[in-house]
C-alpha cells in the first residue's frame, strides 16, 4: 500500500478513475439514462447544479475552519474519553485480537481511507450522471447537513480514538508509514464521536427510502436500487472496520445514526424548497415564524448548556487521563501550527501509578519507524527532548514552529523499569495555544447545527399536531 503519491493523492486519483466505471456498472441496465462526459457541462447548467459545486467548496473551507478550532479549545473543554471507556470497556480490543491479520488490515485501511471520500464525491455525481436532479440535490445536501450537525460534538466533546486509550490496542490505521502524515494533517484523532462514516452512509439509505415512499414504489423496484445496495454494503464494512482498526468506540455509532435520522428528514423536506428557489426567490429558503422561534429556542438552550456545563466543566479534570497505554504501546499527540511567532505549550501530566517516558519529536523522524499500528520507539533518533515523568508529576514542552509545515509530535510510553505484569500508563496532555480563546467563534460555528435541530423539532411537533387534528376530525 506504499505508493509514492501518498494516501491522499492515491485516494483522489482512484476516486476520479473509478467514478465512471462504477457508474457504468450500476447503470448497465439503463444506458439511455446516462449523461456523457461531453454533455455534463450542459447538464450542470440546465439542471442548476452550480450550487452543488459551491456547496462542496464551502464545505472544504468550513472543515478547515473547524479543524483550526479543535486543538486550541482543548484547554477549556477537555475530553470525555474516560466516560466512553467506563461504558464499554475493552470490547473493540477483543474484536481486533480476534480478527487481526495483515491482509485484512490492508483491505480495511484502504477501504476506510478511500471509500468515505468516494461516497462524498460519488453520491451526487452518480445521480447527476443518471439524470436524477432531485436525488442529486439530496445527496449534496446530505453531506452538508450531517457535517454541520457533527460540529458541536467535534468541538466541545473530544473523545480520543480507541487505540489511544485502550491498552494493547494497535492503531492499525493511524500508526503506519503510509498513512501517519495524512491523518496527522487531516484527521484530529479526538473526533471519535460521532462516526460520520456510519452517519453519512446511513442517512443516504434513509433518504432513499423516504424518496421511494414518496414515489409510491418499493425500494426493490427503484431504478437506483443497486446504488442503494452499494451504500448498504459499505455501511456493513464500516460497522466492523471502525472497531477493528482502532478508531471508533461502539457507542460512537449511536450519535451517528441519530444524526442520520435528523439529516434524512431535513434533507427530504427541504430539497423541493431548494429546487424551487429560482421560481419562488431566495426568501423562500428562510424559515417561517414557527420555525424561527423553534430554531432560536434550541440555539439558546444548547449554547447556554455548552457555555455553562461544558466549557471549564467536567472534561477539564486534570486527574483524568486522555491517553492510556500498556507495555509496548506508544501513543501520539500532534502539535498543530497556529502561529510562527508564539510557541505552543504542551503540558504532560502523569496521572497513573507508574513512571512514563515522553518524547518531543518532529513528524519526519517518526514516519519511517511506524508500521501496522506499531511505533519503534528505540529506533527514533534526532529527537528534541526525551524525558521520564514520575507518577503525579508533570512537564511542559514549548514548541515554536519554523514554518507552516513544521509538525511536531509528543510520544509517550511506559518507562522501561515500569513494564511488565499488566502495567498501565496514564497521561493527560493539555495544549495551550496563543489562540486558545476560540470558544466564542466555535459557538458561532455550532449555531447552524442548533438551528437545523430546532427546525426539525418544530416539524415533528407540527406533524404530531396535524395528525391529532386529523384524528379528531375523523372521530367527529
Domain of 359 in residue numbering reads as: 287-453
Domain annotation covers residue 466: no
Domain annotation covers residue 142: yes
Query: Which residues contact residue 391 at a Cβ distance below 8 angstroms, ignoring those fewer than 6 apart?
Result: 350, 352, 353, 354, 355
What is the predicted pLDDT for the residue at 293? 93
The DSSP line for 139-163 is: HHHHHHHHHHHHHHHHHH--B--GG
Reference 457, options 302, 308, 305, 273; nearest CA is: 302
Domain annotation covers residue 80: no
Angle between helices 133-156 and 196-215 (to 10 degrees): 150
Rounded (5°) CA angle 439-445-449? 125
Largest CA distance in the chain: 84
Domain annotation covers residue 183: no
Residue 396 is part of a domain; what is its CATH number?
Answer: 2.60.120.680
Q: Same domain for 234 and 311?
A: no
Q: Same domain for 228 and 307?
A: no
Looking at 347-389, list the stretches that DSSP marks H as alpha helix, in order from N- to C-terminal side: 363-367
- Tell me if residue 212 falls in helix, strand or coil: helix
Domain annotation covers residue 92: no
Residue 429 phi, psi (nearest 5): -110, 120
- Tell me if residue 335 falls in helix, strand or coil: strand
Angle between helices 225-244 and 196-215 (to 10 degrees): 160
Residue 6 phi, psi (nearest 5): 80, 170
Give CA–CA dist 121/123, Å, rounded: 6
What is the predicted pLDDT for the residue at 383? 54
Q: Same domain for 203 and 314?
A: no
Looking at 281, 296, 329, the residue that finishes a domain is 281
What is the predicted pLDDT for the residue at 421? 64
Task: Enter the C-alpha cell of residue 449.
Answer: 447545527
Q: Same domain for 304 and 397?
A: yes
Q: Same domain for 34 and 110?
A: yes
Phi/psi-derived region of residue 312, left when phi > 0, alpha when psi is between -120 and 50, beta in every other case: left
Q: Same domain for 337 and 277?
A: no
Domain annotation covers residue 95: no
Spatial contact of 348 and 389, defined as CB atoms under 8 Å apart: yes
Reference 401, options 476, 340, 311; nearest CA is: 340
Task: Enter the C-alpha cell of residue 456.
Answer: 426539525
Structural domain total, the chain: 2
Query: Which residues contact residue 53 at a Cβ distance below 8 angstroms, ignoring those fewer than 6 apart?
Result: 44
Q: Same domain for 384 and 244?
A: no
Q: Same domain for 396 and 291?
A: yes
Looking at 220, 246, 281, the residue that finishes a domain is 281
Looking at 250, 281, 312, the residue that finishes a domain is 281
Domain annotation covers residue 53: yes
Give CA–CA dist 266/270, Å, rounded: 6
Q: Same domain for 265 and 294?
A: no
What one-character DSSP code corresponds to residue 191? B
The residue to which cell 428557489 is assigned: 277
Spatial contact of 76 and 431, defined as CB atoms under 8 Å apart: no
Q: Same domain for 321 and 276?
A: no
- H or E element in which residue 201 lies: helix 196-215
Q: Same domain for 275 and 292?
A: no
What is the predicted pLDDT for the residue at 1? 47
Spatial contact of 355 and 401, defined as CB atoms under 8 Å apart: no
Q: Same domain for 136 and 253?
A: yes
Spatial contact of 182 and 7, defined as CB atoms under 8 Å apart: yes
Spatial contact of 107 and 471, defined as CB atoms under 8 Å apart: no
- Tell me if residue 29 falls in helix, strand or coil: coil
Q: How do the pLDDT tens digits run along the chain, 476 residues long?
A: 455 566 667 777 888 888 999 999 999 988 888 988 888 899 999 998 999 999 999 998 998 889 888 888 888 999 999 998 999 999 999 999 999 998 999 899 889 888 888 999 999 999 999 999 999 999 999 999 999 999 999 999 999 999 999 999 998 888 777 778 777 777 777 777 889 999 999 999 999 999 999 999 999 999 999 999 999 999 999 999 999 999 999 999 999 999 999 999 999 999 999 988 878 777 778 888 898 999 999 999 999 999 999 999 989 999 999 999 998 899 999 888 888 888 899 999 999 999 999 999 888 888 888 887 788 888 886 555 678 999 999 999 998 888 888 888 999 999 876 666 678 999 999 999 876 568 999 999 999 999 999 999 888 876 666 555 555 555 45
Query: Which residues contact residue 129 at a Cβ distance below 8 angstroms, ignoring those fewer than 6 apart?
Result: 20, 23, 27, 34, 35, 40
Q: What is the pTM of this model?
A: 0.89
Domain annotation covers residue 464: no
Amino acid at each position: 500500500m506504499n505508493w509514492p503519491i501518498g494516501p491522499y493523492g492515491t485516494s483522489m486519483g482512484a476516486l476520479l478513475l473509478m467514478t465512471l466505471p462504477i457508474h457504468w456498472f450500476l447503470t448497465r441496465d439503463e444506458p439511455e439514462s446516462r449523461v456523457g462526459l461531453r454533455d455534463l457541462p450542459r447538464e450542470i447548467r440546465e439542471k442548476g447544479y452550480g450550487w452543488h459545486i459551491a456547496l462542496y467548496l464551502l464545505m472544504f473551507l468550513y472543515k478547515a475552519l473547524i479543524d483550526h478550532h479543535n486543538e486550541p479549545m482543548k484547554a477549556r473543554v477537555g475530553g470525555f474519553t474516560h466516560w466512553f471507556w467506563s461504558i464499554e470497556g475493552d470490547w473493540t480490543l477483543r474484536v481486533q485480537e480476534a480478527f487481526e491479520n495483515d491482509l485484512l488490515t490492508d483491505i480495511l485501511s484502504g477501504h476506510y481511507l478511500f471509500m468515505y471520500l468516494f461516497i462524498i464525491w460519488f453520491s451526487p455525481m452518480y445521480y447527476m450522471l443518471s439524470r436524477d436532479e432531485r436525488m442529486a440535490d439530496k445527496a449534496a445536501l446530505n453531506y452538508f447537513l450531517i457535517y454541520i450537525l457533527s460540529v458541536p460534538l467535534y468541538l466541545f466533546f473530544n473523545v480520543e480514538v480507541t487505540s489511544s486509550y485502550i491498552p494493547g490496542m494497535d492503531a492499525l490505521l493511524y500508526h503506519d508509514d503510509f498513512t501517519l502524515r495524512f491523518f496527522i494533517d487531516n484527521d484530529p484523532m479526538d473526533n471519535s464521536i460521532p462516526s460520520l462514516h456510519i452517519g453519512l452512509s446511513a442517512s443516504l439509505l434513509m433518504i432513499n427510502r423516504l424518496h421511494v415512499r414518496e414515489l409510491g414504489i418499493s425500494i426493490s423496484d427503484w431504478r437506483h436500487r443497486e446504488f442503494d445496495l452499494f451504500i448498504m454494503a459499505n455501511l456493513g464494512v464500516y460497522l466492523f472496520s471502525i472497531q477493528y482498526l482502532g478508531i471508533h468506540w461502539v457507542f460512537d455509532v449511536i450519535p451517528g445514526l441519530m444524526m442520520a435520522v435528523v439529516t434524512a428528514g431535513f434533507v427530504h423536506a427541504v430539497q423541493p424548497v431548494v429546487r424551487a428557489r429560482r421560481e419562488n426567490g431566495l426568501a423562500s429558503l428562510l424559515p417561517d415564524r414557527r420555525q424561527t422561534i423553534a430554531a432560536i429556542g434550541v440555539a439558546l438552550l444548547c449554547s447556554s448548556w455548552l457555555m455553562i456545563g461544558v466549557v471549564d466543566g467536567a472534561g477539564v479534570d486534570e486527574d483524568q487521563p486522555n491517553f492510556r497505554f500498556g507495555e509496548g504501546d506508544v501513543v501520539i499527540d500532534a502539535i498543530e501550527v497556529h502561529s510562527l511567532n508564539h510557541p505552543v505549550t504542551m503540558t504532560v501530566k502523569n496521572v497513573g501509578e507508574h513512571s512514563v517516558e515522553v518524547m518531543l519529536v518532529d513528524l519526519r523522524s517518526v514516519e519511517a519507524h511506524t508500521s501496522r499500528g506499531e511505533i519503534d520507539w528505540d529506533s527514533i533518533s534526532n529527537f528534541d527532548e526525551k524525558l521520564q515523568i514520575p507518577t503525579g508529576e508533570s512537564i511542559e514542552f514549548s514548541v515554536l514552529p519554523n514554518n507552516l509545515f513544521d509538525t511536531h509530535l509528543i510520544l509517550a510510553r511506559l518507562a522501561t523499569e515500569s513494564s511488565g505484569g499488566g502495567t498501565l500508563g496514564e497521561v493527560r496532555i493539555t495544549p495551550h495555544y496563543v489562540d486558545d480563546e476560540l470558544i466564542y467563534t466555535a459557538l458561532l460555528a455550532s449555531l447552524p447545527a442548533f438551528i437545523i435541530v430546532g427546525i426539525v423539532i418544530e416539524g415533528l411537533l407540527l406533524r404530531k399536531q396535524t395528525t391529532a387534528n386529523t384524528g379528531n376530525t375523523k372521530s367527529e
